[in-house]
Amino acid sequence: MPTYILLFGAPGAGKGTQSAILKAEYGIPHVASGDLFRKHLSENTPLGQVARGYIDNGELVPDDVTVEMIRNRLHEPDAAQGAVLDGFPRTIPQARELEKLLTEFGGKVDVVLSLKVREATLLERVASRSLTSGRADDHPDVLAKRIRVFLSQTLQLEDYYRERGLLAEIEGERSVVDVTEQIHAAIRACTSK
């Protein structure tokens, strides 16, 4: 049965670092919704064209378009054993759609890892990252908005997954090794149920 791990965390929480570790240890890809959007838009795929129509009009891309991007990505051979999903779902309706989608692949959400980091630490981390990343969304003003949006969106999702016994809160301000150890313990606890 494939393993599906959801990774929650504000920008700068360490999702990229921990996803790389999980990818190496479990042999499953890191599937970030933001990366999928950028790929589809830059390659001007049919899904990218649909998404661009909404984005250009200042509208949110409908869930069915995002779900289809995720579905296409999970059909790729490297995702046969599962994936670390990052940036999706962001709402409870998206979480329900994800559950339906994963049944198509004979799987389910195994664990939801929520990396907890104080806002001041997030801002400090991304300020450092912005010096080398070149990412427009690492600008302090943009980042502060992204953090607020993330926090407002994920609180309900955390409750949703907590009620299902799948949420593990990870102290993300510790060392990379300590965070990784917490993650492994949480995965073991959720997958042994």
Active site (catalytic) residues: 15, 90, 129, 135, 146
Q: How many CB atoms lie within 10 A of CB 134?
A: 8
At 28, phi and psi to the nearest 5? -125, 145
Task: Give CA–CA dist 69/81, Å, rounded.
Answer: 18
Tokens of 66: 């995002």
Residues of 25-55 as b/e, b for ≥16 C-beta within 10 angstroms?
eeebbbbbbeebbeebeeeeeebbebbeeee
